[in-house]
Structure 1
């Protein structure tokens, strides 16, 4: 009940622009972010917002996971992706929880993307993590949050955007050295347009096998495919010269694996890829 009243107060403040200074209050909503660390030393340790963690393993990749609208660090892609990463690789995983803001209406959550991403960038800078070892992963609105964070940090190795949704602030290919986008519901929840260095369109990027016109199912396939790619990546996508070639399933260019945790990939000149999947795990 207390949380519900708190969230309602935040929503009213954003909607009315109430603030104790001249800055609209949603510009400070990143203050509500929380961060949880997972690696071979700790399992879900809440991290201090003001001090550098001594439990971050140096010299390995750090994967930062950002959930989407109406989710939290314990829902959607987070538990499955953390498990696959930690069981198969020596990595740090930082789960970002912005659920207090993400639980609001889509329009209000969307208005906070910039703030959430900027505060996230400040937190990661405080942790003194080498940007060249950072892999930022975001689903839905979280895809744009990681874009903002990468933009602010600079020189981030990789961003993976999982079916990014509509947003006033958008991820771009300049937000990391390598930006990979997986589009699975481009006709409804997702953007469905090229915004990265490599844009993957499984099964054409629209309705996914086994989802039978269920847009939410197709939307979630982006993170399900990504999770499935971590241990044994069989998503060998073909380069397409044009979007039309992608739509017609006539791509004959070089292969590039979709997903995975590699920090460096070299996409084809068009950056357009298609891979066809099955309807159930491991797809």
Structure 2
């Protein structure tokens, strides 16, 4: 039987990856979790359990984690949750860590490890099976999703939607399959995302730096979750494998294909794990 992830273990695990530890290890206790499926709508889950009786068995569970400035009521959660519930038989758990996410970026970033640790505990205590678990995070939420997967162990999939700068990062070892979608990785002061390869498959729509139809970095950044939402029901983003980042940048990728996004728990990426797909400028792109 699983036991909760202790603070000491969480710190040791992060230190083993050479990552600094935030000072306040109790930030995550203020997070809230809401369960949605075909039977219930927004039922609060308790951090310490007992196991949630409303959790549907034998179906995948998708966890949505917002980023800096967000909450469980932001469009990311509302739109992705709707697409999932209307197209599949799933549990959707929406995380709200808005108390710290609403603070400065530095303060929110300092809360990442603790929020991830408490999320891991909540999923374990509520009896969510890791083998059918898909953790999805946007911005700093991408790193929270990854670290939670790392702490739980045996998680099927983690998806990072335009991960932002953080000393504690999503890693390829956080789940059996880790996918990352980069949309605002221009490297300028204004950019929100990071372009480095983090997962088994890293997708760079339109090169990963700017997105068609966008006039600012916030729009480029948000396209990551919009592409993900569209991929669930409305759109198949067939991406080509690239041998190198240079091929990705020059739009000359011609190797095997892989669909970007979706709720598939397992995919088999090419050797490089680098993918490019070109999109339209309006939903569903």
Q: Structure 2 length as normaliser, TM-score?
A: 0.90
- Return the alpha-carbon distance in structure 2 between the equivalents of residues 47 and 99 of structure 1: 16
Deviation beyond 6 Å, 4+ runs, structure 1: none
| 2:241 alignment counterpart | 239
Shift of residue 217, structure 1, vs aligned partner:
0.2
- Return the alpha-carbon distance in structure 2 between the equivalents of residues 46 and 130 of structure 1: 18
| 2:194 alignment counterpart | 191
Q: CA deviation digits over 1:243-279, x for unaligned, max 9?
A: 0000000000001000000001000000000000000
Q: CA deviation digits over 1:159-213, x for unaligned, max 9?
A: 010000000110000000000000000021001110000000000001100003x
Instruction: State which structure, 1 or 2, has the greater radius of gyration over its C-alpha atoms.
Output: 1
Shift of residue 129, structure 1, vs aligned partner:
1.5
Change (3 A) 1:241 1:99: same
SS in structure 2 at match of 1:121: helix
Q: Structure 1 length as normaliser, TM-score?
A: 0.90
Contact 1:101–1:112, Cα closer than 8 Å, also in 2: yes
Shift of residue 76, structure 1, vs aligned partner:
3.1
SS in structure 2 at match of 1:27: coil
| 1:70 alignment counterpart | 69
Change (3 A) 1:24 1:270: closer
Q: CA deviation digits over 1:122-147, x for unaligned, max 9?
A: 11010121101000000000000011
| 2:138 alignment counterpart | 139
Shift of residue 40, structure 1, vs aligned partner:
0.8
1:270 corresponds to 2:272: yes
| 1:5 alignment counterpart | none
The one of 221, 234, 246 aligned to 1:219? 221
The one of 14, 28, 41 aligned to 2:39? 41
Change (3 A) 1:128 1:202: same
- Return the alpha-carbon distance in structure 2 between the equivalents of residues 173 and 161 of structure 1: 11
SS in structure 1 at match of 2:248: helix
- Return the alpha-carbon distance in structure 2 between the equivalents of residues 233 and 280 of structure 1: 12
Structure 2 unaligned blocks of 5 or more: 1-20
| 2:52 alignment counterpart | 53
- Return the alpha-carbon distance in structure 1 between the equivalents of residues 193 and 283 of structure 2: 22
- Return the alpha-carbon distance in structure 2 between the equivalents of residues 122 and 92 of structure 1: 18
Q: What number of residue pairs does the alignment pair up? A: 260
| 1:250 alignment counterpart | 252
| 2:122 alignment counterpart | 123
| 1:29 alignment counterpart | 27
Shift of residue 25, structure 1, vs aligned partner:
5.8
Q: CA deviation digits over 1:3-26, x for unaligned, max 9?
A: xxxxxxxxxxxxxxxxxxxx9762
RMSD of the TM alignment (CA)? 1.1
Contact 1:137–1:159, Cα closer than 8 Å, also in 2: yes
The one of 205, 208, 213 aligned to 1:210? 213
Contact 2:161–2:181, Cα closer than 8 Å, also in 1: yes
Contact 1:34–1:96, Cα closer than 8 Å, also in 2: yes
Q: CA deviation digits over 1:55-83, x for unaligned, max 9?
A: 00000000000000011011031000010
Structure 1 unaligned blocks of 5 or more: 1-22
Change (3 A) 1:25 1:245: closer
Contact 1:233–1:259, Cα closer than 8 Å, also in 2: no
